[in-house]
Amino acid sequence: MLPVQRRKPTLSPEDATSLEEGRWPPWFKQARETLKSELLSSLGDCWDDLMWFWTLTEGRQGFKTSRISIGPQSAGDLRPAEVGNWLKRGRHVEYVPELGRKDLKSLGDSWWVWWKALQLDWRGVSGVDGCLHTDHQIGDGEWEHLWHPGANGLMTVIICLKWWGELITKHYGMGSLRMRSWETAVEDVLWVMTSMVS
């Protein structure tokens, strides 16, 4: 994957403080540790950038936890089964679904269906088949459905991306063409988070 130059926002003193690991609450430290992936970090900057922007997003929300789930209620019916199982197990960050090579396509496809259902109407992506690409990264609207902190927020999207990315690399290797859909997914989530904090 070619490196994408992402402009990080100018940080306020509060933002800079939220990026300091010593200031993170226990739930977030555990979540960050779980989401850390040397394997995915070795693919380029996209995973590390995702972690940076997610930390900033959570920090701007005061590292709170919320009972409100991410996205419109109808999107919950479309989330991958693996995410539903994780939610039923109390959102324990240590939980990793048992996934094999046969699960790869369905996990990727269901992730994209769910992600598009989470988007607001102004993005105009509900009828798009397959992956979203850079030509879908336009518009400037509110992010109220995605602006939820804690394990019910963007963390649900990110933990599923981790499972998916590690599953691809485990079964097909880092240079696999199958990585492209996952990389595109990470880039779209990054665009959303960059837009949210800008």
pLDDT at 5: 52
Instruction: Encode the chain (198 residues) as per-residue pLDDT tens digits.
Output: 444 555 677 788 888 888 999 999 999 999 999 998 988 888 878 899 999 999 999 999 999 988 888 888 788 889 999 999 999 988 887 888 999 888 999 999 999 999 999 999 999 998 999 999 999 999 888 898 888 899 899 999 999 999 999 999 888 877 777 889 999 999 999 999 999 988
pLDDT at 124: 92
pLDDT at 1: 45
List the alpha helices (DSSP H) in the chain.
13-18, 26-35, 38-41, 46-60, 81-88, 104-118, 154-172, 179-197
